[in-house]
Amino acid sequence: MSEHSRLQHLPIALFAMVMGLSGLTLVWQKSAAMLPLSPAIGQGLLVLTGGLFTVLLLAYALKAVRYRDAVRAELDHPVKLSFFPTISISLILLGTATRHSLPDLSIVLWGIGAALHLVLTLFIVNRWMHHEHFQIIHINPAWFIPAVGNILIPIAGMTHGQVSISWFFFSIGLVFWIILLTIIFYRVIFHDPLPGRLLPTLFILVAPPAVGFIAYEGMVGDIDPFSRILFNTALFMTLLLVTQVRRFAALSFFLSFWAYSFPLAAMTIAAMVYYQQTAANWALGLSGLLLAVTSAVIAWLIVLTIRAASRGQICVPE
């Protein structure tokens, strides 16, 4: 297949890799701040993630110029549509990862990402409300990405002193989490099971309460009953998915496997924050376990992705 053809089939879902690596970067940054670990790992991951995002952004921009119909087809797709905000979320996460080391760059990345994410949220929610072809079987946890992704914005927003903006985005994400969670459980309980290639997106169920806990704790500065509800909901979702590990292990590799990465990273950071606030020994043990699991899973995903790319299994027609 020619390079031009591969560019035409470059999937928007590739930006989920940036989300996963950004999450891993934040995990190791947090680990270095609370444990006797070298900050060099987090710094190296930040450079790697920023480089990957730049390459993917340039490649997708070129696709948008040369193959507008292909981009339009992804915008019309009931699943792929939800992955466009992975671009804005990548900016937000990179802004979050640089908020202490490069504050000037951080606020630029965060500001652009937040503004773009608001635009994409409005665009996609409008599409949901006035669609002509979406059905209940089309919804899956990837639909959390556009609206619930807003809940990420306060993490760096509070660092930059943007209190009102942080609460605005947190409110959007929290409300849409409740709405979409209800619809998704209705879909998976009363309709056909998710197809195999979408089954890994179930891990996205962990992200909203885990990130919500991190963001909320950053805004209120303490652990209160509501933050405990968020943390324990994230912990339950993690345990629920761990009991299904055989289902996930039986799947062939798809790019949707990257749905494992960011939610695991979010849960790892949530456990670390919980330990910092409560000094609970079990939370420290959970943090160490999740650090090892998250790092191993993302390393495994990188290997699988490189192998799939070398075999010409990525950027091909579905």
Please report the pLDDT score of residue 293 as a whole number: 97
End-to-end CA distance of the chain: 14
Q: What is the pLDDT of residue 247?
A: 93
pLDDT in tens, the chain (318 residues): 555 578 999 999 999 999 999 999 999 999 998 888 889 999 999 999 999 999 999 999 999 999 999 999 999 998 899 999 999 999 999 999 999 999 999 999 999 999 999 999 999 999 999 887 888 988 999 999 998 899 999 999 999 999 999 999 999 999 999 999 999 999 999 998 899 999 999 999 999 999 999 999 999 999 999 999 999 999 999 999 999 999 999 999 999 999 999 999 999 999 999 999 999 999 999 999 999 999 999 999 999 999 999 998 898 887
Domain-wise residue ranges, the chain: 3-310
Q: What global pTM score does this model have?
A: 0.95
- Please give the DSSP secondary-structure letter assigned to residue 38: -
Amino acid 3: pLDDT: 56
Cα 23 versus chain centre, distance: 8
State the Rg of the chain over Cα. 19
Residue found by looking up tokens 């609970």 in the block: 280
Ramachandran class of 139: left when φ > 0, alpha when ψ lies in -120 to 50, beta otherwise: beta
Determine the number of helices (DSSP H) and then strands (DSSP E) in the chain. Answer: 14, 0
Which CATH superfamily does the domain covering 3-310 fall into?
Voltage-dependent anion channel (1.50.10.150)
Please tell me the predicted confidence (pLDDT) of residue 224.
96
Q: Is 73 exposed, middle or buried (0-12, 13-18, 19+ CB in 10 A)?
A: exposed
